[in-house]
Amino acid sequence: MRLPFDPMGLALTLALGTAGGLAARVIGLPLPLLMGSLCVVGGAAAFRLRLFGRAVAVPQTLRMVFIPVIGLAIGGAFTPSVVAEAPRWWPSLLALCLFIPLAHVIGYRIFRRIGGLSKATAWFGATPGGLIESVTLGEEAGADPQMLVLLQFLRLILTIVLVPTFFTFLTGHAVGSAAGAGVAGAPLGLIDMAVLTAAGLAGLWLGRMLRLPAYVMTGPLALSALAHLSGLTHGVPPDWLVGATQIGIGSVLGARFAGMPRGALPLAARLAALNVCAALLLAFAFAFPVAALSDQPVGAVFLAFAPGGLAEMSLIALSLQMSIIYVTAHHVARIVLSVTVARLVWHRLG
């Protein structure tokens, strides 16, 4: 029976990611386990290096194993006091409804005027959330699939790299340098392990059945939150597991550079860098007035508006211990709003 992936190649790639994460931690990079594994595996994949004769390879489905851990950890941050704060977030969520179309249009203009891309490629490449959904909609609209994937993937990568770097510059120390740096909770007992495992598995099934956005994370998160609010458990995934999750996600993302067209990569990198910098500057501009209206730290609002991936931005919030539920809720809303705006406006723009 032939496996859909190379087990030895997977083991070597994860070992390379682990080495990169540990090296980044020694150097003192922000969010080292995630960024180190991403950079090292991504570099090896982009330059088509072979590890003992094996190509860099991580099946994308491996994210299904790691991402629920983030949801379970974030669920541990749900307390009655946090839930009571949620109604005060409405000014921030309203501001997000303005931020999303603004960031989308700015990105679209950059891709059209500077990159000379087609309307469909520029529009869906500029969607500030929902990578898979944006690529699917763009291909249906006739976009260039290679450039579209590159623009969306590089948006994710560049945001993951720039946001922790920004917080390191702001705070003066590397964020997330303490490995997993997760939510504080009671030591895990057998009952806690059983409850969290059940929440993770049932959350995956329920999230898929209900078609929740990013269900791989939001389903386990919802059931973990219920378990903590009801008092069934007070435990959270241990730091070593959250750290392993960072390495796993970084390796999965880095491996996606394998097979990417080299000719299109420089143009896509320049355009994506301009788009991400513009979106982050816009997020920073929104952060100050929104923070005053929603009673949140400026850094939390900036992180909530940054156009990265839900799982990755939530990991950064975990590492910073900064308004974790607030940030995660806004990124779920960002994905839904981004895909909705992309779909609705394209009917007129196209």
Q: Domain containing 111 — which CATH number?
A: 1.20.1530
CB 217 within 8 A of CB 68: yes
Domain membership flag for residue 90:
yes
The set of residues, in sequence order, having a beta carbon less than 8 Å from that of 276 and lying 6+ positions away, is 154, 155, 158, 159, 162, 307
E-strand ranges in the chain read: 50-51, 54-55
Q: pLDDT at residue 4 above 90?
A: no
Provide the pLDDT confidence category of residue 97 given band limits of 50, 70 and 90.
very high
User: Each residue of 59-74: b (16+ CB within 10 Å) or e?
Assistant: eeebbeebbbbbbbbb
Lowest mean per-residue pLDDT among 134-148, 168-182, 195-209, 244-258: 168-182
Q: Residue 183: pLDDT band by 50, 70, 90 thresholds?
A: low
Q: What is the mean pLDDT of residues 174-201?
A: 72
Cβ proximity of 176 and 30 under 8 Å: yes
Range of the domain at 121: 7-55+63-349
Q: Share the mean pLDDT of the chain.
A: 86
| Of 152-166, 171-185, 224-238, the least confident | 171-185
In a domain, 19, yes or no: yes
* 192-219 per-position pLDDT tens digit: 899 999 999 999 999 999 988 778 888 9
Question: Does residue 333 surpass a pLDDT of 50?
Answer: yes
Is the residue at 44 inside a domain?
A: yes
Distance CA 33, CA 35 (A): 6
Residues 6 or more apart in contact with residue 309 via CB below 8 angstroms: 131, 156, 159, 160
pLDDT, residue 174, reads 62
What local confidence, expressed as pLDDT, does residue 1 receive? 38
- Could you tell me the CA-to-CA distances from 220 to 53, 298, 337 in Å, in that order? 38, 28, 22
**What is the band of 2 on the pLDDT scale with cuts at 50, 70, 90?**
very low
- 153-176 pLDDT, tens digit per residue, is 899 889 988 988 888 777 666 665
The answer to whether residue 331 is domain-embedded is: yes
Measured CA to CA, the distance from residue 71 to residue 210 in angstroms comes to 16
Is 2 among the domain residues?
Answer: no
- 82 vs 314: CA distance, rounded Å: 16
- In percent, the amount of the chain with pLDDT more than 90 equals 37
In a domain, 174, yes or no: yes
Residue 1 is assigned to a structural domain of this protein: no
- What predicted TM-score, i.e. pTM, was given to this entire model? 0.81
Please tell me the total count of domains within the chain.
1
123-127, 193-197, 271-275, 308-312: lowest mean pLDDT where? 308-312
130-147 mean pLDDT: 86
Q: Is residue 94 part of a domain?
A: yes
